[in-house]
Amino acid sequence: MQIIGAGFGRTGTKSMKLALEQFGFGPCYHMFEVFAKPEGIPLWHKAAFGQDIDWDELLGDYESGVDWPLSHFWQPLSERYPEAKVLLTVRPADQWYTSMTNTIFSHLAGKEPEDGSRDVWKEMVDKIVLQDTFSNRPDDRAHCEAVFDRHTELVKESVPADRLIVYEVGSGWEPLCAGLGVPVPEGPFPKTNTTEEFQRDRDAEAGAS
């Protein structure tokens, strides 16, 4: 593991995944990997509820990782992989909360499949995101934005400057390339998993269920 993402979901993490993989820091773990490889969900569930897990067993094939659930464990991961850079993706808190409300928070509040197929996944995500991160107050904008800002400051204060990369959504290639020590590529920075795309995919998923 060369890069550990510490940024919350909805800070451009899916686009960052594509960018990191373009530079050869792939595969990059993301929540989409949880869906693609559900055999890892029991391990994430154990970690969410305070049990020790073998990070190499879960992440051994990955060169980088961003987004929840991985970003929730940025501190133990940074200790497990001391040579890895810590990548903090950020954006203005008010924009972030609006995006969260229109995507992840509404998704977690939605009806789950009646066969219980996602019970373990949802327990894990509810524990990490709703309970441990936002104290079960996703509808409280001021609280959530304060949590977001405190998290940003915690990471900045805790990680040595020579190990930390802070990337603000929409900044283009230059700050990321400077932090990684790689040349700036041609073409635009990836942009994917926008609010509109998230909602469209969620609607398609609901229609197919």
What's the half-sphere exposure (Cβ side, CA atoms, 13 Å) at 80?
18
Question: Contact at 8 Å (CB) between 105 and 198?
Answer: no
Overall number of domains in the chain: 1
How far apart (Å, rounded) are the C-alpha atoms in residues 190 and 188?
A: 6
The boundaries of the domain holding residue 119 are: 3-208
pTM above 0.85, yes or no: yes
Of 132, 128, 138, 135, the residue nearest 102 (C-alpha): 138
Q: What is the pLDDT of residues 190-209, one digit of tens each?
A: 987 545 554 454 444 433 33
Residue 71 belongs to domain with CATH number? 3.40.50.300
- Look at the alpha carbons of 171, 175, 179, 182 in this order and tell me if their dihedral is positive or negative: positive
Q: What does the pLDDT profile of the chain (209 residues) look like in tens digits? A: 999 999 999 999 999 999 999 999 999 999 999 989 999 999 999 999 999 999 999 999 999 999 999 999 999 999 999 999 999 999 999 999 999 999 999 888 765 544 454 689 999 999 999 999 999 999 999 999 999 999 999 999 999 999 999 999 999 999 999 999 999 999 999 987 545 554 454 444 433 33
